[in-house]
Structure 1
Amino acid sequence: MRPPALNVGAKVALAVAVAAVCVAGAIGVLVHRITADEQLATARSGLDQELRSAAEELAVGRRSGAEIDPRGLPGPVARAVRDDVRVTYLQDGGEHPVLWAATRVSGGKVLALSRSYAPEERSLASLDRTLLATGAAATVLVSLMGLVLGVRMGRRATAAARTAERIADGDLDARARPDGRDEIARLAASVNAMADALGARLEAERLVTADIAHELRTPVAGMSTAVGLLPPGRASELVAGSVYKLRGLVEDVLEVARMDSEVAAVETEQREVSAMARRAVAGLDGVEVRVAADAIVDTDPRRVERVLANLAANALWHGAPPVEVEVDGPIVRVRDHGPGFPSDLLTVLHTSGPQRFRTGSRTGGTGLGLTIATGQARLLGARLTFRNHPDGGAETELRLPTE
């Protein structure tokens, strides 16, 4: 199982904390090293001065604290003084370190001084504890500051991402707040610019589509009239069928344009769901209506019937008969017995909804049927759900509001 991914705020806080630990550790090691070297140099210098004083007192016959050829003289010191030099040496004795100073005097003997180096070690240990406490406190403080900064950055980035998601879901009025002048503010401004550009392009597309559809209504109406004047025959039937399909397509495009412009009005009244279902599929062969439970809802019956008619026609066109329309209270399910929704189309339906002029069926189509059905359901406050039935076939569920 993969661990959960860290968000931007947590990553910033973690990076600041790691940096604070590294800096505090480096400073602590540096101060420890410098202090230790200075302590040792001072101790060496002091003991060497005492050794010189002791040698002078020995030369005039006075007694001093120094010893001649002491038993515990370390081997490195004994070897070093052979060259007639003064030597200072720190003998590591664990908890009892000893600092030595020695020199050769007349007669080939060695004059040596020693003292405990434990006080310096205790002082250095105390400094280390102080550095550790100070470094820990500084690390906690800097980490908290990094956490605050990271949380703020994370919230701003999350707000920009949520705004982009709302825009992707169709809320073109959503806007981010580009606070500051950093990269996140630039991201928020870019999201807003994207929303403006997308809204302008969609509005231009809607206007062009609506204009084309309006311009086509007159010639299509003329063609419908002219078809009625043709003599009966196979050619007349083909022309009439094509004109009928063209007229339906033009009306669908106009309906989409009206929904996009949000000028469509909803006129509600109380109606039985079963009555609306039967009226919707009255002119479709191969569609069966079954009523498991009926209900009376306050809705726009024209739009409900348009949704159900589109769903049933889509099931007949892209699926296979028989098409079953089941009424279960305020819920209406439309199921066919075809191969079902293609997996890629079902993914699109679940994520971004139906897309006009796109269909996953091999039989062709414009994709406007599901688009209009979804738009009408949205106007009614209803919900459409698309899925494949466990026993085969595509199934669409319309859930009408009950309040």
Structure 2
Amino acid sequence: MAQILAPSSQWQMRIARNSAPASPMTAKMWSSLVLKQNKKGTAKSSAKFRVFAVKSENGTINRMEDLLNLDLTPYTDSFIAEYIWIGGSGIDLRSKSRTISKPIEHPSELPKWNYDGSSTGQAPGEDSEVILYPQAIFKDPFRGGNNILVMCDTYTPQGEPIPTNKRHRAAEIFSNKKVVDEVPWFGIEQEYTLLQTNVKWPLGWPVGGYPGPQGPYYCAAGADKSFGRDISDAHYKACLYAGVNVSGTNGEVMPGQWEYQVGPSVGIDAGDHIWISRYILERITEQAGVVLSLDPKPIEGDWNGAGCHTNYSTKTMREEGGYEVIKKAILNLSLRHKEHISAYGEGNERRLTGKHETASIDTFSWGVANRGCSIRVGRETEKQGKGYLEDRRPASNMDPYVVTGPTG
């Protein structure tokens, strides 16, 4: 039977709306037909006549399932590489597939490719070619087998990074010897909101209405408190399969909102892993018929926004005496507050209000165990005299290459 990734109630609603015109047969009617065919002797083997099992009266029969799950490895050495890149908005993900005919061990062994930049807002129509440079490889959890996902960045035909290519500059910074020697660790907490497809209203919320006030939903269980767990779990496992350094997940304060954590990741890996994890989440919500939102304040009013808190430490911070290094780093961050805010995501002013576990966008602050500050230091870091800091300002739609690299 096909696995259903969407919450049960919503999936049943989709089937009721969409499947009836295409296939008026019920499960009982189909079973009856199969029995009659078998009695007549027209289906002597499953190879000649196959029917997929259905789960309920509203079930659908998917004859493409076998083709989608074909294992190519016994028949060919070729595999499929899904080239992924960031589009012109700086937050949209694009991808396309190509066949690779020989085994590869490093991204540099993959061919460069091109795409129509005029269709993504990244090049003019009269000179639209943008070149994809493969940079990081992950296993493909959707196709399985030897197939891969490839994180790429983008260049002109002359080899210059295009303006939306933020990875190039971040990679330069992380390859600097001083930076390499400090082994910078990042732990990024990606929050997101799941929306109902047609109304763009959070999953589990009554259409045009509101659930009960915040409080019962954070890390909760139960049909009246947790909405979208199947999507979160499917994403968690798919990321682990792909090789994304995901370290956990939980339901968030606003119903229909979730979080997952990536890290600790070193240097440029932090950005690569966040972008691939976002792509995987987009694909899973696509299959589930749910809309993924990275808007930092998807619902106005007395509801939590969505951030991308970024935890950071260096080798010196993690060693004895590191707390003093952390405090110096916080001072340096305070001197560039406005510059950082401008690079921490679109619409962040709607989220950083000083309420709902945020600091005001206009004021820099820090504190120990204080979630209402710009920078939070954990109790354990204070106690041990070493550890890490948490920058709570980045929005859920921030570019991790920018936050960890040029302005990080």
Q: Larger Rg: 1 or 2?
A: 1
TM-score, structure 2 normalization: 0.21
Greater share of helix:
1
TM-score, structure 1 normalization: 0.21
Greater share of strand:
2
